[in-house]
Amino acid sequence: MPISVRRSFIFICSLVLLSACQHTNQQDLEVRRLDDDVLATWIAKASPQIAKDPTDYRLQVLFTEIRREDNGRAMLHHHNYRADAEYQYPASTVKLAIAALALEYMQQLSGYGVTIDSVMHTEPLLEGDTLVSLDTSAASGLPSVRHYVKKILLVSDNDAYNRLYELMGQQYINKRLTQLGFTNAQILHRLDRSLSPEENRATNPISFYDAKGKLLYRQSAKSSTALPARPITLVGNDYLKNGELQGKPLDFSQKNNWPLSHMHQLTQMIMLPETLPPAQRLQLAKADLQFLQQHMAMLPAESTSPTYDKAQYWPSYVKFLVYGAEKDAQIDPNLHIHNKVGDAYGFLLDSAYIKDDCSGAEFIITAALYVNKDGVLNDDNYDYDTVGLPFLKRLGELAVANARAKPPSKCTEKR
C-alpha cells in the first residue's frame, strides 16, 4: 500500500476508534445515532446521477455528528463516504489552513511588538512584484494580517492568501501542518499566479510597522527546501495552456495537496478544539480563535471593514452546502455555518461546521466532487451551476433536515 494511501487509511481508522471511545455512553444520548449508510442514502437523494458513478465525480464526503452530554462535553460520531479515495485539487480550501497558521505565526513576533493589526509591507521579489504597502479595502488603507484573514474568510480573496503564504513560507507551513497531524498536506504554491516550483519556494521580504510608521520587525526573503516529489497525478483528458490544447491530461503532482480528511479535521480543530489532543490543537490566543470562528460564519454584507458590493458578493457567495451559492438564496437565521469553500479546475469543495438553533443540533460536513463533463481543464467550461452546486446544496439540506426531524425542534422543517 502506498505511503499516502496508508496514512489516509490510518486517519480514517483513527476517526472510527475515536468515535467508538466517545460513544461508550451512547444509550444516554437523547438522539439516536445515524445508520452507517446514511451518507450513501443522502447522496442518492441529492443526485441519483452522481450516486450511480461516484468515481467519475471523485465524490468524497465526511460527516460528523456532535452530541452534547449534560456537562457540555462534545461526543462525536464520524461517517465516511470515499474520503481520500483519490486526489482532489483543494482550490481555496487551503486558505483556511493558511489563515489559521498566520494567526498562530504572529505570536512568535509578539516580542518585537508585532500584532495581527500591525501594518504589513510585502516587498518585491519575483518578476512582476511591486511593494504592497496599501490596502484600500481596509478602513485605515493599510494592510495587516487581521485584514488579510478577514478577506480570505469573507470572500476567499486570492491576494490575501498569497500575502500570508509569503509571510510564513512553504517550509514553515508544511512543517507546522505535519506537527498538527496533517501528514499528507503539501501547500506548494501561491494562487492565481503562474509561477515555477522554484519561484513558489521563494517568498518575499516582509516588514511590520506600528501605527506611527516605526519599523518593528523585518523578515528577510526565504527560500524553502523542495518537498519530496509526489507521484504523477493526472486529471481530465486534456487542458488548455496559452490558449492551445495540450493533448494530454493535466498533472497535479506539483499542485497543493490537502485531502478531504485534512479539511474536515481542520474544521473540527477550529470549531471544537477541545475534542482533539493538545498536540493537535492550534496554539492560538482565545481572542484569535474567536476571531477565526466568527469570520468563518460572517456573510460579506455583515462586514464593515472591508465592505463588499452586494451585487458581486451576495450573502451565499461562499456557502455551497445548504445554499448552493445561489444569488437569491434565503438565508436561514437559525443556521450558523462556519465554513471554507473552494472551486477550481472543475473541483468543488466545502467544509462546514453547522449549528442549528431550531434543533440544537451541531455537525461537521465536508464534501468534494469533480464536475467537468468535457474533460478539458482551463477552459472555464465546468458543470458547477448545473451539477456540482445543486448537489452540495441538496446534500446540506438533507443534513439539516435530518437534524430537524429529531425532537426537540423549535422550527417546522420546510425543506
- For the beta carbon of residue 243, count every other beta carbon within 10 angstroms: 6
Better pLDDT: 244 or 29: 244
Cβ distance 169 to 203 under 8 Å? yes
Beta strands in 46-94 (DSSP E): 60-68, 74-81
CB-based burial, 219-237: b 16+ in 10 Å, e otherwise: beebebeebeebeebebbe
With residue 393 as reference, give the H or E element that holds it: helix 389-404
82 pLDDT above the threshold of 70: yes
pLDDT given at position 414: 46
CA-to-CA distance for 265 and 180, rounded, in angstroms?
10
- For the beta carbon of residue 106, count every other beta carbon within 10 angstroms: 25
- The answer to whether the peptide bond before residue 273 is cis (omega within 30 degrees of 0) is no
Strand partners, 67: 75
Report the percentage of the chain scoring pLDDT > 90. 88
379 pLDDT above the threshold of 80: yes
Cβ distance 137 to 300 under 8 Å? no
In which band, very low, low, confident or very high, does the pLDDT at 406 lie, cut at 50, 70 and 90?
Answer: confident
Among 141, 97, 143, 152, which residue's Cα sits nearest to residue 123? Answer: 143
Place of cell 493558511: 98
Cβ distance 76 to 267 under 8 Å? no
Judged by DSSP in three states, 400 sits in helix
Q: What is the per-residue pLDDT across 3-29, written as a single tens digit (0 to 9) for each?
A: 444 444 444 444 444 443 433 333 333
34 pLDDT above the threshold of 70: no
CA-to-CA distance for 265 and 277, rounded, in angstroms?
12
Better pLDDT: 19 or 230: 230
Burial of 398 (0-12, 13-18, 19+ CB in 10 A): buried
pLDDT given at position 28: 30
Q: What is the per-residue pLDDT across 37-69, written as a single tens digit (0 to 9) for each?
A: 889 999 999 999 999 999 999 999 999 999 999
Judged by DSSP in three states, 328 sits in coil
Cβ distance 120 to 145 under 8 Å? yes
Cα-flanking dihedrals φ and ψ of residue 364, to 5°?
-120, 130
What integer is the mean pLDDT of 76-93? 97
Q: What is the per-residue pLDDT across 119-155, written as a single tens digit (0 to 9) for each?
A: 999 999 999 999 999 999 999 999 999 999 999 999 9
Q: Which amino acid is at 211?
A: A
Q: What is the DSSP letter of 118?
A: S
CB-based burial, 286-321: b 16+ in 10 Å, e otherwise: eebbebbbebbbebbbebeebebeeeebbbbbbbbb
pLDDT given at position 37: 83
In which band, very low, low, confident or very high, does the pLDDT at 1 lie, cut at 50, 70 and 90?
Answer: very low
Q: What is the per-residue pLDDT across 245-298, written as a single tens digit (0 to 9) for each?
A: 999 999 999 999 999 999 999 999 999 999 999 999 999 999 999 999 999 999
pLDDT given at position 36: 58
Among 265, 104, 107, 102, which residue's Cα sits nearest to residue 181? Answer: 265
CA-to-CA distance for 362 and 66, rounded, in angstroms?
5
Mean pLDDT, the chain, as a whole number? 92
Q: What is the per-residue pLDDT across 284-333, written as a single tens digit (0 to 9) for each?
A: 999 999 999 999 999 999 999 999 999 999 999 999 999 999 999 999 99
CA-to-CA distance for 290 and 267, rounded, in angstroms?
13
CA-to-CA distance for 178 and 280, rounded, in angstroms?
10
In which band, very low, low, confident or very high, does the pLDDT at 411 lie, cut at 50, 70 and 90?
Answer: confident
Better pLDDT: 343 or 9: 343
Q: Which amino acid is at 72?
A: G
pLDDT given at position 287: 98
Cβ distance 42 to 60 under 8 Å? no
